[in-house]
């Protein structure tokens, strides 16, 4: 408890230093931190920074877990103002390395062998160090060059403590912040927890990489490094070492004569194939995780790294998001509205024409510009934001898709600013959908499912008969699951917490009124003084009860 109080106080002080104390929700225990504004070091240069920059700097000062939280939060553009989301997207892991000797000991403990048996050489100086793990170069006994990714020591306990604290802060934000219900801080923290727990498991990351590699094994467009499972455990991952040029090094790519337009168009196609063909996509494709193989500059290809965050969609979401994309490409806004209802993303009782008008308002202005200047990713994000007016509920996987789409489009425009996203994406998606949902694929799917349908067929008449019997007896029960019920439960809980204070306030007011009514002497005699005290106590308790 003392540790949590200390951490909350430290967070409060940092927020106050960067003039973000309005995020502290006016909790009395945290208000004292605002005195740091009065100190010279607490306000120097901060006043002139944007709110997004101040938040980014505060998260960097709080440490690597909060940096990672800011990175995940930057993907929730459905919740954040654009200026804050853009600034948080600039967060980078700049974490001091832990000693190489400690990394050696962890590898030996995880793999159960001395480092000299595992590798013919191992570099203790890390190649890179991030919030979750750091990477060391090594060579296997057969001469294969590899990299060993080692989870930071003690990070699991640190993450558990910080997740517990972030959960407590999220609950306070939902309860006290005026927009707590809209920004849904509990869901944001839950999403962060899911992502960061997955990143802690090197086995999980290795499995992600292996499956992606299988999908792209024969491709000349994307290369996934090989995982060496004999040298991989829960906290250690060893994979093939790859070269290439960082995708952000545009000048080097130009120097080597890389066809940047072709490379940019290839990146868009790779994204659509990962999502809609394979339904498994690298969901952390920022420039730091992408390299370019320039062996043939006229036919350069991509190399992906870091597979801690890989996502897929449900079959229904995959179909409906693809159909939405095609409807936007074709400027069919009524179809966009109908698809939102069919997918169950918005309630079925909304007015289709109103949502059609909202979609048209968001998308149509973009078509007044040349298509090479239109950001399809931003259009999709704005469309989902507008759909929130119609009680849109979006799954975390769709948020990861939006974020990845934004990264890929941004990377494509960095490589070749005049790229026409529509010209690449529309025919690619149409081709994938013809293959995925065409007659041939559907017939093969029916053929696979037919034996199962035939095996279950004899059971159907009995099931129908039993259901009709239960309906006739009035014994069919319905289960209701809704976010509205959660909100109602929260309101009832707050109401119940107020009841004792309200009863005490009413009792004091009645008692004080009776005492005052029977008083006939001076104020300092008989019942006047107790009545005045009762009134004051009732006023204090009443204000405190209903304010809380």
Catalytic residues: 284
* Cα 33 from Cα 226, distance rounded (Å): 50
* Cα 493 from Cα 489, distance rounded (Å): 6
* Cα 401 from Cα 137, distance rounded (Å): 32
| 167-183 residues labelled b (16+ CB within 10 A) or e (exposed) | bebbebbbeebeebeeb
What's the per-residue H, E or C state across 308-375?
Answer: CCEECCCHHHHHHHHHHHHHHHCCCHHHHHHHHHHCCCCCCCCCHHHHHHHHHHHHHHHHHCCHHHCC
Contacts of 350 by beta carbon, 8 Å cutoff, 6+ apart: 341, 390, 391
Within a 13 Å sphere around the CA of 307, how many CA atoms are in the beta-carbon half? 24
* Contact by Cβ (8 Å): 303, 292: yes
* Cα 9 from Cα 180, distance rounded (Å): 22
Within a 13 Å sphere around the CA of 174, how many CA atoms are in the beta-carbon half? 17
Least Cα distance to 414 among 275, 286, 257 occurs for 286
Sign, CA torsion 482/487/489/490: positive
* Cα 311 from Cα 303, distance rounded (Å): 18
Least Cα distance to 6 among 162, 131, 185, 154 occurs for 162
| Helices and strands (H and E) in the chain: how many | 24, 11
* Contact by Cβ (8 Å): 119, 143: no
* Main-chain dihedrals φ then ψ at residue 525, nearest 5 degrees: -110, 170
* Cα 258 from Cα 406, distance rounded (Å): 23
Least Cα distance to 156 among 175, 132, 176, 137 occurs for 132
């Amino acid at each position: 408890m003392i540790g949590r109080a200390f951490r909350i106080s430290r967070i409060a002080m940092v927020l106050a230093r960067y003039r973000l104390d309005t995020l502290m929700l006016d909790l009395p225990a945290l208000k004292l931190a605002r005195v740091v504004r009065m100190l010279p070091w607490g306000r120097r240069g901060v006043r002139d920074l944007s709110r997004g920059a101040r938040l980014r700097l505060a998260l960097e000062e709080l440490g690597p877990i909060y940096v990672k939280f800011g990175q995940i939060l930057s993907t929730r553009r459905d919740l954040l103002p654009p200026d804050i989301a853009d600034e948080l997207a600039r967060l980078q892991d700049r974490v001091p390395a832990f000693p190489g000797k400690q990394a050696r000991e962890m590898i030996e403990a995880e793999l159960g062998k001395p480092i000299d048996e595992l590798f013919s050489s191992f570099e203790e100086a890390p190649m890179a160090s991030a919030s979750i793990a750091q990477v060391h170069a090594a060579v296997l006994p057969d001469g294969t060059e590899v990299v060993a990714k080692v989870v930071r020591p003690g990070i699991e306990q640190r993450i558990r403590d910080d997740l517990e604290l972030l959960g407590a802060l999220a609950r306070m934000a939902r309860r006290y912040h005026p927009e707590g219900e809209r920004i849904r801080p509990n869901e944001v923290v839950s999403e962060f927890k899911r992502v960061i727990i997955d990143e802690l498991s090197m086995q999980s990351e290795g499995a992600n990489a292996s499956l992606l590699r299988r999908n792209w094994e024969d491709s000349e467009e994307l290369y996934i490094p090989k995982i060496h499972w004999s040298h991989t455990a829960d906290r250690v991952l060893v994979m093939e070492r790859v070269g290439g040029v960082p995708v952000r090094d545009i000048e080097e790519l130009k120097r080597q004569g890389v066809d940047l337009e072709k490379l940019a168009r290839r990146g868009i196609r790779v994204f659509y194939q990962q999502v809609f063909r394979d339904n498994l996509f690298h969901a952390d494709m920022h420039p730091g995780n992408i390299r370019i193989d320039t062996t043939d500059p006229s036919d350069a290809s991509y190399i992906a790294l870091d597979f801690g965050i890989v996502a897929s969609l449900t079959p229904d979401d995959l179909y409906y998001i693809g159909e939405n994309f095609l409807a936007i490409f074709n400027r069919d806004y009524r179809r966009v509205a109908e698809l939102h209802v069919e997918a169950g993303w918005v309630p079925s009782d909304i007015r289709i024409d109103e949502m059609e008008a909202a979609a048209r308002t968001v998308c149509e202005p973009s078509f007044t510009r040349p298509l090479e200047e239109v950001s399809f990713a931003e259009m999709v994000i704005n469309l989902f934001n507008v759909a929130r007016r119609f009680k849109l509920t979006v799954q975390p996987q769709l948020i990861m898709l939006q974020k990845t789409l934004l990264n890929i489009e941004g990377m494509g425009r960095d490589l070749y600013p005049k790229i026409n996203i529509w010209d690449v994406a529309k025919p690619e998606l149409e081709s994938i959908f013809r293959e995925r949902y065409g007659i041939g694929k559907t017939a093969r799917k029916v053929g696979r499912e037919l034996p199962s349908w035939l095996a279950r067929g004899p059971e159907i008449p009995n099931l129908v008969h039993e259901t009709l019997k239960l309906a006739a007896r009035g014994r069919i029960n319905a289960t209701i699951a809704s976010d509205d019920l959660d909100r109602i439960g929260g309101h009832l809980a707050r109401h119940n917490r107020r009841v004792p204070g309200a009863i005490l306030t009413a009792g004091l007011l009645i008692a004080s009124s009776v005492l005052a009514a029977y008083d006939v002497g001076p104020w300092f005699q008989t019942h006047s003084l107790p009545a005045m005290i009762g009134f004051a106590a009732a006023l204090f308790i009443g204000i405190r009860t209903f304010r809380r």
